[in-house]
Amino acid sequence: MGKKVFLVDTTICNGCYSCHIGCKDEHVANDWTPIAKPMPEIDHFWFKLDEKVRGTVPKVKVAYTPRFCMHCDNPTCAQACPTEGAIYKRDDGLVIIDPIKCTGCRKCMEACPYDVIYFNRDLNIAQKCTGCAHLLDAGWKETRCSDNCPTLSIRIVDEDSEEAKNFIAESEFYKPEIADKMKPRVYYKGLPKKFIAGTVFDPAQDEVVIGGCVTLTAADGNVSKIKTDHFGDFWFENLPDGKFKLEIEADGKTKLFDNLDTAVADINLGDIPLT
């Protein structure tokens, strides 16, 4: 059995929640012991779609970020579990909470830095994404979330496949700062960063400024330049959290924005009169 990895491309996620629904459809009122006991009808999100509205009117984007068990190669949940074999890693890389052995102590929930384990009060067990191990064992090549996904934004594939290698080469981790420790098996593209955007116009002419030069300088001195487009718009995307300086220049007129802090939020500078 090849080791599995999940590839999540958020740039083609439309936020339809069919992943979440596939997970519920598979697990609510269906008992897949020994892999999983039934999931409660609501309030469990073994497959959770985080939804974030970024920016302010009219520079707004919505970021959808699928979050589920990372099936870590260094699963702190398993290490925290006091019951021998209650949380184990399969040969295919999937991490499973044994629904029979679990005693409901919740130590795994505290130990998981990704917040993807849920407690089932009725059954007194911890539950989470199983990678649809029961389906893979039955011959499936998909999980329910990936099979339901209309855009192939979520894929489960063999780690040594071409698709995985190509994807991983350009990918990133959710919470990259702990990736080295946890060794997650879920790879992302397009995790939301920050943007600085605005529209430049000339109030005297009542016209947008097209081709205006916008220069963004990061605290480390890194400089990027773009020109305003046919709507007078500029968008600096995929910015890290940090302090920036932004300068607009057109027809000899300039405008300066100092001390822009993307750590707080995405920044819409609004409609900027260039005078």
Partner 1 sequence: MSDAISNKALPGTAPPNAGADKTVVKAINLSGGIFGACPAHVDVKDGKVVRIRPLHYDSKYDFESFNPWEMERNGVKLRPLTKSVPPPWGLAYKKRTYSPNRVPYPMKRVDWDPNGERNTQNRGSSKFERISWDEATDIIASEIKRIHKEYGPLAILVQGDGHSESKLIHAPHGCSTLLLNKMGGFTQQVRNPDSWEGWYWGAKHVWGKGFIGNMAPAENLVNDMTENTDMIVLQGGDPETTPWGFRGQFASRLMFFWQKAGIEQVYICPDLNYSAAVHANKWIPILPNTDAAMQLAIIYTWVVEGTYDKEYVATHAVGMDKIEDYVLGKVDGVPKTPKWASEKCGVPSYTIKAMARHWAKVRTSTGHYFGGGFIRGPYATEPARLECIQLGMQGLGKPGQHHAQIAYMGMPKNITWDQLNYDIANSDPSTGFQEYSGTFETIKQKDPELYERIFNPHRGTPQAWGKQFIPKTLIEEAIKAGTDKHINFWGTGGHEEEPIDQMIKYQYPVKKGDLRFSGSEKKNLAHNDTDIDKIYERIDYDGVPIHMVWTDTPCRQTCWGDGFDIGMTIRSPQIEFVLAQHPWLENDCIYADIVLPANTTLEVDDVMPCVRDGEHFQTMLNMRQAVKPIGESKSDFECVVEIAKKLDMEKEVTIGRTVEQYVEGVYKGMNFDKITPWEEFQEKDYMVIPVSKNWKKLPAGLYEFYKDPVGHPLPTPTGKLEFCSTNLSKYFPNDEERPPYPQWIEKGITHDERLSSSRARTYPLLIITNHPRWRVHAQADDIPWTKEAMTGKIRGFDGYLYEPCWINPKDAEARGIKTGDIVKVFNERGIVLCGALVMERIMPGAVSVDHGARTDIIIPGKLDRGGAINLITPKGLTSRHAGGQATTSFLVDVQRASMEELDKWRREYPEAWNREYDRASGLKANAWVERGK
Q: How far is CA 232 from CA 173, 201, 208, in A?
A: 34, 7, 5
CA–CA dist 112, 87 (Å, integer): 12
- Which spans in the chain are helix H? 18-27, 76-80, 107-111, 133-137, 144-148, 162-169, 179-182
Does 55 help bind partner 1 (rule: CB under 8 A)? Answer: yes
Stretch that binds partner 1, among 52-60, 87-95, 123-131, 212-220 (CB under 8 A): 52-60
Exposed/middle/buried for residue 166 (C-beta within 10 Å: 0-12, 13-18, 19+): exposed
Report in angstroms how near the CB of residue 217 gets to partner 1 at its nearest.
25
Q: Quick one: DSSP state of residue 241?
A: S
Does 256 help bind partner 1 (rule: CB under 8 A)? Answer: no
Does 56 help bind partner 1 (rule: CB under 8 A)? Answer: yes
**Could you give the 3-state DSSP secondary structure of residue 78?**
helix
Stretch that binds partner 1, among 43-51, 216-224, 236-244, 248-256 (CB under 8 A): 43-51
Among 127, 128, 123, which Cα is nearest to 68's? 128
* Tokens describing residue 195: 């943007």
Report in angstroms how near the CB of residue 60 gets to partner 1 at its nearest.
5
Please, which residue, 54 or 183, has the CB nearer to partner 1? 54
Site for partner 1 in 156-185 (CB under 8 A): 162-163, 166
Among 93, 174, 233, 255, which residue interacts with partner 1 (rule: CB under 8 A)?
A: 233
**Could you give the 3-state DSSP secondary structure of residue 4?**
strand
At residue 211's C-alpha, the angle toward residues 210 and 214, to 5°, is: 110
Among 1, 62, 219, 256, which residue interacts with partner 1 (rule: CB under 8 A)?
A: 62
Please, which residue, 75 or 131, has the CB nearer to partner 1? 131
Does 131 help bind partner 1 (rule: CB under 8 A)? Answer: no
Among 6, 45, 187, 236, which residue interacts with partner 1 (rule: CB under 8 A)?
A: 45
The identity of residue 229, as a single letter, is D
Residue ranges in contact with partner 1 by CB under 8 A: 9, 11-18, 20-22, 24-26, 30, 32, 41-43, 45, 49, 51, 53, 55-62, 64, 134-135, 138-142, 144, 147-148, 150-153, 155, 162-163, 166, 189, 199, 201-202, 206-208, 210, 230-233, 271
